[in-house]
Structure 1
Amino acid sequence: MIGDNYWKSRSEVSSSRRAMLRGGALTCVGLVGAGIVGCGSNNKNNTSSKTGAGSATIASGPRTTSTPSSGQQPGAEQPKPGGVISQRIASDPQALDIHQVSSYVAVWPEAGCYNQLLRIDPRDENDATLMADLADQWETPDGGATYVFHLHQGIKFHDGTNFSSADVKANLEWIKSPAKGKPSPRQVVLSAVTGVETPDPNTVTLKLSRPNPSLLTNLATHFLAIGPKAVIDASGDLGEKLIGTGPFKLKNYVRGDRVELERNPNYWVSARPYLDGLTYYVVPDDNTGTTNFLGGQYQQYTLTHENADRVKSETGGKASVHVSPTLTRQVIFFNTKKKPWDDIRVRQAVSLALDRTDAINTISRGDGESGGYMRSSGAWGLPVDQLHAIPGYDKGSIDQAKALLQQAGVQTPVKGTLLSRNDFNDYFTWSQQALTKIGINLDLDPRDNSAAYDAAYKGQFDLIAWTTSISLDDPDATFSEISTSDAVRNWSALNDSQVDELFKQQTQELDNAKRKLLVNQMDKRALSIFQTLQLYFTKSNYAKYSSVRDYTDHVSLYTNKRYQDVWLAK
C-alpha cells in the first residue's frame, strides 16, 4: 500500500500529456526532465536527472505544459473521512462494462471502481497533465516504438485476486479486438499497438507499428480501465460486477433507480478514498433532478442554463455554479444507407436548414460555441474563417436548402424518423421543428439510453440528433470514435478514404504545427462531405455544494470521475 509521500512524489514527476518524443532512447527519468512523458514513483530519488532534453521535442499538442503544485499547503484544511456524494444520471447505464460504453450515465458510476495504467491529474481542469496510476514508471527506449510500463506491486482486485501484467494485456487486447458482437468505441486509439508483452508479472511492454503521440493520453482515460483477466476469460468482457482495483466497489444496482458504490477498504493507496461511497440516482426528468439538487439530495449537478440562476438563492448560498467550455457537442448523424440521405446535396440542405446561432440561443440559452469535429477554441480547432466556409456553419439559408433538395430530385414532404435519447429533449425537438421549414417531416423516436444506442448501432433511423461527448480534446479520440471508416460510432456509415488517409498521417506526426495542419484538413474534409453535422459545443453549468472538497470540474464529461481524493466537509 502506498504511504503518505505518494501524492507528493507523484506530483513532482507528473508531466504534460501532450509531450512526446521525436527520437532518442529516453528513460522515464529523462522524459520527465525533457517534459516529454510523465513517470511516477514512490521513491523521489528516481526523479533525479539522468538524461538530457536535447534528444526530445514536444510534439503531440499545441498547448503548453502545466504541472500542478504538489502536496498539501501548510495550514490547508485537512480532509475528513466519511459521507456519501449523490448525483443524478438521466438513465440506466448502457452496460456495466466501461470498455463498451460511450455515455456519461455509464462512465460516472463505473469509473470509481477502476484504475488505468496512467491517469489524468484530477486537479487539471483542462486534462493536460498525466500522472502515474497502476504503472509507477514508464519509458520508451527507442524513440516511441516501444513503451515499457513498470507496474505497482501488491495491488489486488475487489475480489481479492492479485493484479498483474497479464490483466493489462487481457484488457488492452480486448479493447483492440473485442469479442464478437461487442462494441469497443476506443478500439482505433490502440491501432498503433501491434503487441502487448508481459516479460514478468510487474512489467508490460507495448510494441508499436508507428509513432503515436496520442497513445499515453488515451491510456489515461477511464475508458482504458483495467479489470481482471479471469473475468474477461469467463464472461467474454468485464462482466456486470464492476470488479476492478479502484477506490470504490459496486454495492448495489437497482435498474431504474440507482447505482450505489461503497468504499474499498483494501484500496492500495493508503487512507483513500475519504468518502464512504457514491450514489447515482436514475432520474430521467431534469426538473425532478434540479429540484432534488436544490433541496440538498444531490451534492453535485449539471444544470440546464435556465436553472443556473436559481442555485444561489434557493440553496441559501450553500451551492455555487461554475460555467465552463466542454467537449460536448450537438451532432446530427445521417443514415447514408437509405435514400435520400446518401445524396450530399440533401445532407448539405439539412446543414443549411439548421441555423447554428438559433440552436445555441434556443437550446442552450446562448451558452455555446462553434466548432467542427474539433472545438474552435481548443488545441486542434479549425480556424473560424475556414469553418464558416462550409455551408451552414456560418449562416443558414432556407431558400438555398430548398433549392438543393429540388436539384436532388427530392419530393417533399420527406418522411422518416429522428432517433434520439429521451434526455436530449430540447435538442431533438428543436431539430425536428427546424427541418419542417424545408419540408423534412420526421417522426420523433426518443428512447432510453440503452435502447437508443441499440437502434443507432442497428441503423434503425433516418437521422439521429445526439448530444455527443468525447473523452479528450484529441484528434485520435475524436475521429476514431465518430468519423473514420472503422469508428464504432460512425453511425452515418459514410466512409471516406481522404478522412482515413489524413487520420493515418496525423496520428503519427510528431511535429505540432504539421500535425495541426493535417487535423484541420481532416476536419474540413469530414465537414465538407457532411458526414455528420457538428452544430455547436455546449457549455457546462456545473453546480456543487460547498461541502464538496477537492473536486475540480473538467472540460471533459468523462474525466476526473474516480473521486479518490474528494471529501465532504462536515
Structure 2
Amino acid sequence: MVRNRVLTAVAGCCAALLLAACESESTAGSDGSAASGSPVAGGTLRAVEISEPRNLDPALLQNTLQGTALLGNALYGNLMVSDEKTGALQYRMATDFSTKDGGKTFTLKLKDGLKFSDGTALDAAAVKYNWDRLKDPKLGSDSQPYASVVKSTKVVDATTLEVTLTMATPLYGEQVVLSAMNWIASPAALKKGESSFDAHPVGAGPFTLKSWTRGGALDLVKNTSYYDAPKPYLDGITLTTSTDPQQRVNSLTSGGADLGVETDWEAVAKAKAAGLTVETVPSGGGRFLTLNTLRAPFKDVKARQAVSEAIDTDALNAAVYEGKAETASGLFPKASPYYNDVALHTYNKQAAQKLFDELAADGKPVSFTFTAFPTDKALAEAVQAQLSAYDNVTVKIQTVDWSESGKVFGQKQYDMLLSTAFFLDPEPALSSAFSGKSPRNATGIADPQLDAALAKGSSATTDEERAAAYRTVSERLAALDPAILVARTAQATVTKKVGGVVLDGSGSPLPADLWLAK
C-alpha cells in the first residue's frame, strides 16, 4: 500500500499559510502488508535505519530520516510534533510554544509532572540546560545552528520557559521539531560524561536502552513510566543499520524486518512493487548539490554557473536512481499556490565548456572535492563521471560517515556536498537553507535581494504576496547558482504489518504510536 500526503491548496481545507495535504490516498498492497484497526499491545518491532549513532547523546543524534530520528524519538520523546497532514504544531510533552510579538520571544509550557526514566523531573530547567548546551559549537551538534537562534532562556517556573531569539522567527517551533532541540535528556545523566551516558541514557521517551552492540543491534524496551499511557504499545524495538538501500528493502520483503526508513528512490520503487506499505512525504524543494560559496572555487559565480550548466540531472537520475527519482526544475510542485515556471538549473554542455575554458584562461581552472556521506557516494561518482567529459575541471571524492555530519556542516569544510531543503510550507525551510542570516545556510550565499524576498515570503499574509516573493527567490537562486536541484526528496517509511505509522518533521516515524499486527 502506498499512502502519499499530497500537496494541495484547497480553500477551507488547509490554513492560509500552510501548504499541505487535506487528505491521503491509499491503495492496498498485494500481500496485505498494512495493519489496520485498533492498536495491539505487545511484541518487539525490528527496524532498519540508515545510520548508526556515534553515541546516544541527543545533541549528537541527527533528527532526520536518514539520520537517527527514530532512535531519538524513542529514547527522548518529543516536546512537539508536526501534524502529518497539515504540518501544524501538535504538542506532546509541551502544551504550548507561542509568540505574541511576531517571533522575537516565545513561551514554552510543559505538561505537569513529567519525569525522566530515572525519576528526576523533566522541567523548564532541564529544557534550558539542553538548549543552552546545544549552542556550544565545541559539542559538534548538527542542531547547533538551530539552537544558536536562541539568544537567551529564562526559567519562569517548573513548567514555563521564556525564550528570546536573536532575530524574529515566527515559525521557530517548526525548527525545534526538526532539530535535536525536540529531545530533552536528564541534565544529571549528561553531566556524568559520554561513556556513562552511552551505557545509561536517560530521557523521557517511550523506550529505554536495554543493550547496544556497536556495529550490531541496539535493543530498546518499553518505558513503563512513560507519561502517555497506554502508549507505547510495543514491548520493545530492535534497531539495526544498513547503508545499502537494496539490503534494507530485502530485509522487509524476506521477513527479517518490520520497518525501514528509506531515502533511495530505487528502493522505494522496489518496496512499492513488492506490496509493502510505503508512507511518503511529497514536498517542494528537494535534494541539492550544494556549492560552498565561501571559498574557492565556488566563491566565483562563474565557476558555479559552469558546473551547473555542465550537469545533466536526467542522466544523474538514470545513473543513480534508475530513473525512479522525481526530478524537477523549480522549487515548487505544480499543485502549490506558490508554483512558478522559473528553472533553477539548465543543462547546456557547450556553454559549460566555454565557461570552464574562460576560467582556465584566467588562471582559475575548476578543481573541487565532493564530500559524500555513505548514501551519496553513487551520486558523487556520477557527478565525477559527468564532469570528467569536460576540460579544465577536476573532481575528487571524499567519503565521510553520517556521524561526522555535525562537524562537516558546522565548519563548512567542503566544496560540494548533497544537502536537503524540502518543505510542506516553504518557511522556515527556504530561509534556513538560503538566507544570508541563517546559520543553517550550507551554501554560504548572502544576497540582499534574495534575503529580502525570503523575508517577504515569511511575513506576507496572502498566497498572492507569497507567490510573488517566492518567484523572486527562484529568480535569484537561478542567477546565483548556489545549489543544483537534483531531484525531489524521497522520504519514506516502509513497513510490513505495522500499525500506527505517524510521520513527523522530516518524515520520521513516532515509535510511541507504532504497533504490530498479530
| TM norm structure 1 | 0.73
Offset of 1:408 from its aligned partner? 2.4
| Contact 2:107-2:163 within 8 A present in 1 as well | yes
Kindly report which structure 2 residues correspond to 1:205-220, keeping only aligned pairs within 5 A, or say none.
205-207=162-164, 212-220=169-177
Going from structure 1 to structure 2, the CA distance change for 1:358 and 1:223 (only over 3 Å counts) comes to: same
Offset of 1:551 from its aligned partner? 1.0
Offset of 1:228 from its aligned partner? 2.9
Q: Which residue of 2 aligns with 1:561?
A: 509
Kindly report which structure 2 residues correspond to 1:246-395, keeping only aligned pairs within 5 A, or say none.
246-301=205-260, 302=262, 304-307=264-267, 311=271, 319-321=276-278, 325-326=282-283, 329-364=286-321, 365-370=323-328, 372=330, 374-377=331-334, 383=340, 385-386=341-342, 388=343, 390=344, 393=345, 395=346
Instruction: Check if 1:444 corresponds to 2:400.
Output: no
Structure 2 residue ranges without an equivalent (≥5): 1-8, 25-35
- Which piece of structure 1 moves more, 137-146 or 294-303? 137-146
> Of residues 495, 500, 506 in structure 2, which corresponds to 1:550?
500
Q: Which residue of 2 aligns with 1:463?
A: 416
Q: Which residue of 1 aligns with 2:369?
A: 417
Q: Which residue of 2 aligns with 1:110?
A: 72
Q: Which residue of 2 aligns with 1:132?
A: 91
2-side partners of 1:246 and 1:331: how far apart? 33
1-side partners of 2:70 and 2:476: how far apart? 33
Offset of 1:543 from its aligned partner? 2.9
Going from structure 1 to structure 2, the CA distance change for 1:477 and 1:335 (only over 3 Å counts) comes to: closer
2-side partners of 1:204 and 1:274: how far apart? 31
1:50-98 deviations in Å (ceiling 9; x for gaps): xxxxxxxx6643558889xxxxxxxx83322111222222332355344
Going from structure 1 to structure 2, the CA distance change for 1:521 and 1:252 (only over 3 Å counts) comes to: farther
| Contact 1:183-1:488 within 8 A present in 2 as well | no
1:463-510 deviations in Å (ceiling 9; x for gaps): 32x253657644323432x43345445444443344444445544445
% identity of equivalent residues: 21
- Which piece of structure 1 moves more, 508-517 or 267-276? 508-517
Instruction: Check if 1:538 corresponds to 2:489.
Output: yes
| Contact 2:206-2:232 within 8 A present in 1 as well | yes
CA RMSD in angstroms comes to 3.9
| Contact 2:206-2:231 within 8 A present in 1 as well | yes
Q: What SS does structure 1 have at the residue aligned with 2:67?
A: helix
Q: Which residue of 2 aligns with 1:525?
A: 476
2-side partners of 1:140 and 1:553: how far apart? 26
Q: Which residue of 2 aligns with 1:12?
A: none
Going from structure 1 to structure 2, the CA distance change for 1:376 and 1:543 (only over 3 Å counts) comes to: same
1:400-452 deviations in Å (ceiling 9; x for gaps): 10111222235797544322112223312221111112233323322322346
- Which piece of structure 1 moves more, 259-268 or 136-145? 136-145
Kindly report which structure 2 residues correspond to 1:5-404, keeping only aligned pairs within 5 A, or say none.
60-61=17-18, 77-93=37-53, 96-100=56-60, 101=62, 103=64, 104-121=66-83, 124=84, 126-137=85-96, 147-175=106-134, 177-180=135-138, 182-185=140-143, 187-188=145-146, 191=149, 194-207=151-164, 212-221=169-178, 223-225=180-182, 226-231=184-189, 240=198, 242-301=201-260, 302=262, 304-307=264-267, 311=271, 319-321=276-278, 325-326=282-283, 329-364=286-321, 365-370=323-328, 372=330, 374-377=331-334, 383=340, 385-386=341-342, 388=343, 390=344, 393=345, 395-404=346-355
The one-letter amino acid paired with 1:448 is: D
2-side partners of 1:493 and 1:96: how far apart? 30
Q: Which residue of 2 aligns with 1:15?
A: none
Offset of 1:517 from its aligned partner? 3.4
Offset of 1:266 from its aligned partner? 0.6
Q: What SS does structure 2 have at the residue aligned with 1:262?
A: strand
Count of residue pairs the alignment pairs up:
489
Structure 1 residue ranges without an equivalent (≥5): 1-17, 19-33, 37-57, 68-75
Higher relative contact order (CA 8 A, sep 6+): 2
1-side partners of 2:272 and 2:102: how far apart? 52
The one-letter amino acid paired with 2:513 is: D
1-side partners of 2:97 and 2:63: how far apart? 28
- Which piece of structure 1 moves more, 495-504 or 198-207? 495-504
Offset of 1:296 from its aligned partner? 0.9
